[in-house]
Homo-oligomer: A and B are copies of this chain.
Amino acid sequence: MADEKARRIGVLTGGGDCPGLNAVIRAVTKTAQLEYGASVLGIQDGFEGLVEGRAHELAHQEVSGILGLGGTILGSSNKGDPWHYPTETARGKIEIHDMAFKAIRHVERWQLDCLVAIGGDGTMHIARRLSEAGVPVIGVPKTIDNDVPATDVTFGFDTAVSVVCEAIDRLASTASSHHRVMVVEVMGRYAGWIALMGGVAGGADVILIPEIRFRWDSVFRKVDERQTQGKRFTMVCVAEGVRLPDGTEVVAEFDSKRTDAKRLGGAGAVVARAIEQGTGHEARVTVLGHLQRGGSPTSFDRVLATRYGTAAARLACSGQAGVMVALRDGHIEAVPLEQATGELRRVPLDHDLIAAARSVGTSFGDH
């Protein structure tokens, strides 16, 4: 099945950590090597490696046994965007320069027939720009937040949801025995998918997501209602990106990028304090943070990542480019990178899971 001239593809992982990255790298590499006789170049630390020319041939051995491994064997980096690339000057200052020419030059030097870029929203934007600049790119959508447009689901999401669900299970036993309000803050800066799915899976009594504007009195009422019903605890699941009733954005306490911003604590802490003051019941907050991003992917994410990886390799090795692999109605498809860089996919207010959650008694703080 191999081409006459052996193809050569590059692969990189961009952005934050996400369970399943290694499963994609493995599937891309094995498919390219076994099915197309292609060689695969592993580019290190995302687009940073592309700009700075750090890469090495991926041997068969190297991708063996990494299917269930968390993290990425290729590394990633925050110095993501070749068009806005931080460089240290002789005087030790950091300046932002356009280094895209370097990235493109490496694609040429390395004689890559195609570049497989695994990443989230930011990565897809760079992939699109590289594509417009003539670089053949295949995107693979990654984000635990599940908000990449043009695909029904991204790998890493199921793992994040299962971490949230396990955490709520753990906290519920304490909440129930010690008659507490437990607030769990989960990831989701713009979209509430993790909070919604994780909250429903964990049986949360209140779920607060960015898509639904909540009211304090509604939340307090739910807490009081449960007390009255003899259930002396309440489980609250809050997306980090939830907007407060007054419209303010919550700036996470330890956001290293905004050290001088007014520190309110994260969304979870704000909600917990408000509940204590509004209802008089003790509330405790747990911020799951990076626990949702790391570790071994669930079987669901391993399968999805493998399907994405083989599909991406096939496209890359058969001369296609400018597209992102996506799952739609259960089938793997290729969608133009333009579509993949549209508006973030947020939870639609008419999603049947919101209705289902309300049916089993969950409050979204809006009634």
Contacts and interface: CB of A to CB of B under 8 A. Distances in A.
Interface in A48-73: 64-65, 67-73
Interface string A335-366: 00000000000000000110111011100000
A269 B290 contact: no
A272 interface: yes
A200 B329 contact: no
B201 A302 contact: yes
Given A76-B178, A200-B306, A71 B173 contact: yes
Given A170-B294, A174-B290, A273-B254, A197 B75 contact: no
A165 B198 CA distance: 21
B27 A356 contact: yes
Interface string A11-46: 001001100010000110011001100000000010
Contacts of A171: 290-291, 294
Contact of A76 (B70, B177, B265): B177
What is the oligomeric copy number?
4
A241 interface: no
Contact of A289 (B64, B286, B303, B359): B286
A331 B162 CA distance: 21
Interface string A308-338: 0111011000000000000001111000000
Contacts of A16: 178
Tell me whether chain A's interface is mostly helix, strand or loop, or mixed.
helix
Given A174-B293, A294-B172, A360-B306, A165 B17 contact: no
Contacts of A278: none
A161 interface: yes
A299 B161 contact: yes
A267 interface: no
Given A165-B302, A299-B165, A310 B360 contact: yes
Nearest to A69: B173
A56 to B, nearest CB: 15
B200 A158 contact: no
A164 interface: yes
Contacts of A254: 265, 269, 272-273, 284-285
A253 interface: yes
Contacts of A75: 177-179
A361 B27 CA distance: 9
A277 to B, nearest CB: 9
Contacts of A110: none
A249 interface: no
A301 to B, nearest CB: 9
A231 interface: yes
A361 B63 CA distance: 12
A253 B269 contact: yes
A165 B137 CA distance: 32
A299 B27 contact: no
A211 interface: no
A74 B289 CA distance: 32
